Amino acid sequence: MNDTSVTKPPGRGARRWSSWLLDERVIQILVQLLFVAVLLWIGYLLYQNMANSLAKQGLRLGFGFLNQVAGFDISIKFLPHARSDTNLNAIQIGIINTILASAISIVLSTVLGVLVGVMRVSSNYLVNRAAWLYIEIFRNIPLLLVIIASYAVIVYNLPNVNDAIVLAGPSYLSNRGLYIPRPVSTPTTTTYLILLAVFLVVAVLLARIVMSRRVLDSFIGTLIGMGIFLVLALVAWFVLPQAPFVLDIPEKTGLNYTGGISFPPEFVGIVFGLVLGSSPFTADTVRAGLQSVPKEQIQAAHALGFGGYLTMRLVIFPQAMRVIVPPMTSNYLSLTKNSSLASVIAFPEIVHVTSTITSQTGRAVEMMVILMVIYSTLSLLTSLFMNWFNNRVKIVER
């Protein structure tokens, strides 16, 4: 008897599924989803283990302790804080101290690094070797030692209050820190600020008109605009019936100064340490960027009659910026995170403050989460700004 059964071909749905499963892109997506699932599962197990360990100690995860009274004072603060304030207020003080120290250090290290980097490519042997010596010394010393040495120099080698170094302002530098004048507002401050905003718009418009009629480059136009703005600002300052700002000058009272803005030795020490320790990396980045410009470009600029200054500003630096800016982002991120080393000289940045809160509340896990969020936020904001700046200065090919 003959078998008359006929095998039916697979349907369209089966063929479709088999083609999808054999697709390399689908396989990659499935593998990635599986990897993410495994990570989530491991994270869940770790969380459960941590929660069980805390439960045995009578603790539960939560952030309600942030509203509890801190019970400790912060020696260096730029906003009011007392023992009766909350832990959240203390964290805010630590964040402000971290941002202020990091921002000032970034600006000063950039200025010093660019200067040393330009010296490093100088044809003058003495200038070149001096820059090389600075880079090699401070790049090979741990940053922690540089910070400690900077603080020790300020505390033990600067004169006392009676023999303080008088700077412009007048400002005073001693082993008690740096004291500078503080601007204090007057009844005409609001009017003056409004006038400054108007003057800024007028200066920009006038600078653009001059640039279009005289065919000037952007640098000269910026100088013209700044000059117009400064002249208008000075005229308004003297025309107003009262000065918009008066200076609160630091005055010596007893063994210290009162008035003005004070930067304690710990703050000055961490800024000096970060600047000295981070500038060599910035200088090396600038040196590499400058040397990446082809020599033919420099020779062409000299053939057109450009001097050393114009060649550096119009030819070398615009092309070197595309090499300099990306590594500078990493330098700035490292500097911001390295500000946590300030705790060794008792500067109350965010790590120092959170350590104190942890020792009082026992909330180590929560404080670690807060620290990770804070540093991640600062790093992301820095990266966003540097990426925007990189897009502004990069060379657009046509």
* pTM for the predicted model, two decimal places: 0.77
Higher pLDDT, 155 or 1: 155
Are 383 and 292 part of one and the same domain? yes
What is the chain's mean pLDDT, rounded? Answer: 83
Are 315 and 384 part of one and the same domain? yes
| 183: enclosing H helix or E strand | strand 182-185
Which class for 206: exposed (0-12), middle (13-18), buried (19 or more C-beta within 10 A)? Answer: middle
Are 369 and 291 part of one and the same domain? yes
Tell me the pLDDT band of 53, cut-offs 50, 70 and 90: confident
Task: Indicate whether 173 belongs to any domain.
Answer: no
Are 289 and 367 part of one and the same domain? yes
Task: Indicate whether 12 belongs to any domain.
Answer: no
Across the range 367-384, mean pLDDT stands at 90
pLDDT at 45: 86
Task: Indicate whether 101 belongs to any domain.
Answer: yes
Q: Is it the case that residue 68 has pLDDT exceeding 90?
A: no
Gyration radius from the chain CA atoms: 30
Are 302 and 389 part of one and the same domain? yes
Are 236 and 289 part of one and the same domain? no
Task: Indicate whether 237 belongs to any domain.
Answer: yes
pLDDT at 386: 87
DSSP state of 292: T
Share of the chain above pLDDT 90, in %: 15
Are 310 and 380 part of one and the same domain? yes
Q: Is it the case that residue 398 has pLDDT exceeding 50?
A: no
Contact 97, 350 (CB under 8 A): yes
- Distance, in Å, from the CA atom of 222 to the CA atom of 208, rounded to the nearest integer, reads 9
Are 192 and 97 part of one and the same domain? no
Are 127 and 215 part of one and the same domain? no
Q: How many domains does the chain have?
A: 2
- 235: helix, strand or coil: helix
Q: Is it the case that residue 3 has pLDDT exceeding 60?
A: no
Q: Is it the case that residue 119 has pLDDT exceeding 60?
A: yes
pLDDT in tens, 281-310: 999 998 888 888 888 887 888 888 877 777
Task: Indicate whether 298 belongs to any domain.
Answer: yes
Task: Indicate whether 4 belongs to any domain.
Answer: no
Of 243, 262, 295, the one marking the end of a domain is: 243
- Distance, in Å, from the CA atom of 322 to the CA atom of 318, rounded to the nearest integer, reads 8
Task: Indicate whether 347 belongs to any domain.
Answer: yes
Of 200, 225, 243, the one marking the end of a domain is: 243
pLDDT in tens, 318-348: 888 888 888 888 899 999 999 888 888 888 8
CATH number, position 325: 1.10.3720.10
Contact 149, 345 (CB under 8 A): no
For residue 195, give its domain range: 183-243
Are 352 and 296 part of one and the same domain? yes
- Distance, in Å, from the CA atom of 227 to the CA atom of 198, rounded to the nearest integer, reads 15
Query: Range with the lowest mean pLDDT among 5-14, 35-44, 309-318, 330-339?
Result: 5-14
pLDDT at 275: 93
Q: Is it the case that residue 200 has pLDDT exceeding 60?
A: yes
Helix 350-361 to helix 364-393 angle, to the nearest 10 degrees? Answer: 160
Are 308 and 378 part of one and the same domain? yes
Task: Indicate whether 227 belongs to any domain.
Answer: yes
- Distance, in Å, from the CA atom of 332 to the CA atom of 105, rounded to the nearest integer, reads 9
pLDDT at 115: 92
pLDDT at 1: 46
What is the 3-state composition of the chain as percent helix, strand, coil, each rounded to the nearest 5? Answer: 70, 10, 25
Are 307 and 369 part of one and the same domain? yes
Most confident of 10-24, 165-179, 371-385: 371-385
DSSP string, 10-47: P-HHHHHHHHHHT-HHHHHHHHHHHHHHHHHHHHHHHH
pLDDT in tens, 237-296: 888 888 888 888 888 877 778 888 888 888 888 999 999 999 999 999 988 888 888 888
